Amino acid sequence: MLIVRAMGGLGNQLQQYALYRKLEHIGKDVRLDVSWFRNEAFQVTMAAGRELELDYLNPLPYKMATEEEIRAVLGRLWEEPERFAGKIRRKLHPARSPFFEENDLYHEQVFAMDHKYLIGYWACEKYYADIMDLLRADITFPRSGDEVLQKRNDEAVRQMEETVSVSVHIRRGDYLDDMNQALFGNICTEAYYEKALGYMRERFPEAVFFIFSDDIPYVKEHYQGERYRIIDWNHGRDSFYDMMLMSRCKHNICANSTFSFWGARLNPHDDKIMIRPSIHKNTQVCVPEQMKELWNGWTLITPQGGQINGD
């Protein structure tokens, strides 16, 4: 049996779910472990207060790992996956460890594994690009119980369908904190967005840009005019509807955020253009040929406004 841990925010949870579905698709006996959301000790290295946002969506087809199944894979280590001693053992004896932790952009070997507990974010498109149709069928959004909110989102969808709509995700908020700034900051720069918007305008002069952000005052100041529509009403638990709206646009410009990656991935248009930054974190070194392979079908733009691939 393989067990995939779910953790983090909705974008990361969807990537872990996607890996789960890919493993299931190739015939593996696999479970999704959601216990991270019930155990504060598991959230030590993450922002506290995360919820299992997969449950906000329409019911997803997955088998949840039971305590007995987790014990069967981890043995006596099942209670300490985040403890120092457990990490030391995994580093000293990785082949014998029941854990496998992601430490690179892509790990082909996970598809040949058995009896492992998989920890990671699995952001790379190559993991599940071949089952995206299946994932789009799985991942659907419920109607809001708030009729006013539902009507606003319905109207936005109507506008997206009637125009050459392009979603633009601008994530600032928590990325401006000192710790996050060092890791995620200065990647989606003004040069990045200028190049991405220009790339779309060259191909679609009539494009209408739908702006999604956690810093509405910033985008209202920087994106003015009839070609920009700012989506600023899905808040709190309803924030996941922004992902739904991104997916209804015809083309997508993403931040270095798994949330907007999934907005683009769930976009069903065959001729869509998806743009993302060439790196996700400042610790990453972009190797163009590698990124072209791992993110096939995406246009990559550097923080300096250079283009890695795309037409």
Q: What is the DSSP string of 219-263?
A: HHHH--STTEEEE----GGGGHHHHHHHHHSSEEE--S-HHHHHH
Higher pLDDT, 214 or 38: 214
Number of C-beta neighbours around residue 266 at 10 A: 20
* pLDDT (average), residues 85-106: 72
pLDDT tens sequence across 53-68: 999 999 999 999 999 9
Mean pLDDT of 24-41: 90
Interval 144-159 mean pLDDT: 98
Report, as an integer, the average pLDDT of 140-147. 98
Q: Which long-range contacts (CB under 8 A, 24 or more apart) does 43-51 make?
A: 43/7, 44/82, 45/82, 46/7, 46/8, 47/174, 50/7, 50/8, 50/9
Cα distances from 192 to residues 6, 37, 258, 276, in angstroms, run 31, 34, 17, 9
Has residue 213 got a pLDDT over 70? yes
pLDDT tens for 294-309 read 999 999 999 999 998 7
CA dist 166 and 169 (Å) reads 10
Band of pLDDT at residue 84, cut at 50, 70 and 90: very low
Rounded mean pLDDT, 278-282: 92
pLDDT at 78: 61
- Report yes or no on whether pTM surpasses 0.85: yes
Average pLDDT over residues 180-207: 92
Provide the pLDDT for residue 48.
46
What is the rounded average pLDDT for all residues in the chain? Answer: 91
pLDDT at 180: 74
CB atoms within 10 A of CB 219: 20
Distance CA 301, CA 98 (A): 38
Would the pLDDT of 85 be above 50? no
- pLDDT at 137 exceeding the cut of 80: yes
pLDDT at 238: 97
| Mean pLDDT to the nearest integer, 258-285 | 96
**Confidence band for 46, pLDDT divided at 50, 70 and 90:** very low
Top-confidence residue, 95 or 119 = 119
**Which of the four pLDDT bands, split at 50, 70 and 90, describes residue 39?**
confident
DSSP-derived 3-state class of residue 37? helix
The separation between CA 127 and the C-alpha centre of its own chain, rounded to angstroms, equals: 13
Tokens for 261, please give them.
């990656």
User: Which tokens in the block code for residue 131?
Assistant: 């089952």
| pLDDT value, residue 176 | 66
Percent of the chain whose predicted confidence (pLDDT) is above 70: 88
Distance from C-alpha of 223 to C-alpha of 61, rounded to nearest angstrom:
40
Ranges 39-43, 131-135, 213-217: which has the least confidence: 39-43
247, 267 contact by CB (below 8 A): yes
d(CA 261, CA 140): 16
Q: Residue 202: is its pLDDT beyond 70?
A: yes
Question: In whole angstroms, how far apart are CA 54 and each of 17, 58, 160?
Answer: 9, 8, 25
Predicted confidence (pLDDT) at residue 227 exceeds the cutoff of 80: yes
Q: How far apart are CA 126 and CA 128, in angstroms?
A: 6
Residue % of the chain over a pLDDT of 90: 81
Exposure string for 221-257, b = 16+ CB within 10 A, e = fewer: eebeeeebbbbeebeeeebbbbbbbbbbbbbbbbbbb
Q: What does the alpha-carbon distance between residue 168 and residue 255 come to, in Å, rounded to a whole number?
A: 8
Q: What was the pLDDT predicted at 94?
A: 61
Given the structure tokens 């472990």, which residue do they identify?
33
Residue 38 banded pLDDT, cuts 50, 70, 90: confident
